[in-house]
Structure 1
Amino acid sequence: MSRITGAIRRLLPKQLPPSLSNRPGNLYEVLSRYPQDGVGQVVHQTRWTTRGITDCYWEVTRTKLKLEGTHGKAWGYLTWRGKRLSEQDEKIPGGLKYRWAPGASRGRLGQPSPPKAAA
């Protein structure tokens, strides 16, 4: 390794900041990757997919991010198994507690979707 390459590697961070990563993270890290801090994005908790819960997501309507997108508050509409439950936007719970990913939840790979409850 040349001296120049070694010097450059010492200057670069060992880990990308959360806003540049494409992996799941807390809600605010995921939202900070998008323009307007994620307003208009659809996100879901990754645990929903691992439990076989499909077609569930939050549609983000507003955000207040702080600490470079690692903490904050977010509001949106909850859609659970294809039906919107929220009439007004509400604060999204579990932003730091759970791992989040963009898009709607999908069932486990190779597993059939659970039957929907009759209304």
Structure 2
Amino acid sequence: MSKIATEIFLKHGKTPIQKFTEKNKSLFALLNVQYDNGIGSCVLPKEWVAKDFNDCYYEIKKVKFKINKKQPDHGKAWGIKYWRGVTDSKIIKVPGGYKKDWTLYKS
């Protein structure tokens, strides 16, 4: 980053990338910025992280976005649920896509 850009960001607070990563995101806002619209990504609600649920996440298999105000921040997502490392390999609709704050799963 150039010296001028760095000075501007320091003067006005955090960089746009820092603001985006710290902001609460719905499932669809998170998947929208991932490679291949998040297909194959592992995601979980942040409340699961707070409750210290280990090896609990959804592996996204299909996403259908609904365009709202030129932003794909609504839609439907399907995936495989892993709960404490165990799955039944059944693809289900991921619940709470708008209501919860989502993050990527890091093992």
What runs of 5+ residues in structure 2 fail to find an aligned partner? 1-15
Pairs within 5 Å for 1:1-119? 21-23=20-22, 24-67=24-67, 68-85=71-88, 87-104=89-106
Question: How much does 1:103 deviate?
Answer: 1.0
**Residue 72 of structure 2 aligns to a residue in which SS?**
coil
**Residue 21 of structure 1 aligns to a residue in which SS?**
helix
CA RMSD of aligned residues (A): 2.3
Question: How much does 1:51 deviate?
Answer: 1.1
Q: Following superposition, which runs of at least 4 residues in structure 1 exceed 3 angstroms of deviation? A: none
Aligned amino acid, residue 80 of structure 2: Y
**Residue-by-residue CA offset, 1:58-102 (whole Å, 9 max, x unaligned):** 0000001122221110000000011114x3211100001110001
Q: Distance in 2 between matches of 1:65 and 1:21?
A: 20
Q: Which has the larger radius of gyration?
A: 1
**Residue 97 of structure 2 aligns to a residue in which SS?**
coil
Q: Distance in 1 between matches of 2:83 and 2:34?
A: 23
What runs of 5+ residues in structure 1 fail to find an aligned partner? 1-15, 107-119
Q: Alignment length, in residue pairs?
A: 88
TM-score norm. by structure 1 comes to 0.65
Q: Distance in 2 between matches of 1:81 and 1:72?
A: 27
Q: Distance in 2 between matches of 1:91 and 1:51?
A: 22
Whether contact under 8 Å (1:37, 1:65) holds in the other structure is: no
Give identity over the alignment, percent: 31
Matched residue, 1:7: none
**Residue-by-residue CA offset, 1:23-78 (whole Å, 9 max, x unaligned):** 44110011001122110000000000111211100000000112222111000000
